[in-house]
Each structure stands twice: as structure tokens, then as C-alpha cells.
Amino acid sequence: NAVFGGSDQVINSASLEGGDMIAVFGGIELDMRNAIIAPDGAVFNLTALFGGVEVTVPPDTRVIVTGTPILGGLENKVNIPETSESLRTIRFHCTVAFGGIEIKN
């Protein structure tokens, strides 16, 4: 979490299931490129209020993003089609107000 500051976090989990990230008047860079997603997938709740969250997901990961930005931005830049059923899945539930969330690979 980042409040009035910044946070860089690297996740190298062998069975990533999810988590919560909150950025308020600050920013979070979350690097999970080397993590292995749990067989049932992972769920993250991301919140950016007057701040930003940048997430880098593992390659060959299916990403599903839900949320509504309020005077902010929400971008899913992952180049894997959401219909790739054979891939492990990360679901991001996003709350954005006056900030931004970017998910990429």
C-alpha cells in the first residue's frame, strides 16, 4: 500500500492467489512477472485514489479487468486475448477516482 508516497513491490510467489493494493495520494508499481498463478487463478482488488497503480503480469496470463474510473483512467494493455481459456487467469477488481490503474505484460 502507498499513502502519500510510493511503493515498488515484486512478487515471486510459486502459487499466487491474489491480494489488495491501495494507492492514496501515491503510487504503486507491482511486478509479478516471475510469479506462478494458482491453478484456480488469482483475484486482486486495486484501489487508486488521487494516485496510481501499475501492474506487470506474468507472460501468457489471461487478464480480466472490472471497474469504473471516476475522473481517472483504467487500462488493460495485456496482449493476450481474454478468450484464451487454457491460460491461468488474474482478475482485477478496480476502484479508481482521480487517479489511474494500468495493467500490462
Provide the pLDDT for residue 33.
94
pLDDT in tens, 33-59: 999 999 999 999 999 999 999 999 998
Where residue 3 falls among pLDDT bands split at 50, 70, 90?
A: confident
pLDDT in tens, 61-96: 899 999 989 999 999 999 876 566 668 999 999 999
- Supply the Cα-derived Rg of the chain in whole angstroms: 13
Query: 3-state DSSP call for residue 34?
Result: coil
pLDDT in tens, 6-28: 778 888 888 889 999 999 999 99
d(CA 99, CA 69): 8
Residues in the chain: 105
Q: 82-93 burial, b if ≥16 CB within 10 A, otherwise e? A: eeeeebbbbebe
Provide the pLDDT for residue 45.
96
Provide the pLDDT for residue 9.
81
Unique residue bearing C-alpha cell 500500500:
1
Q: Beta-carbon neighbour count of residue 96 at 10 Å?
A: 23
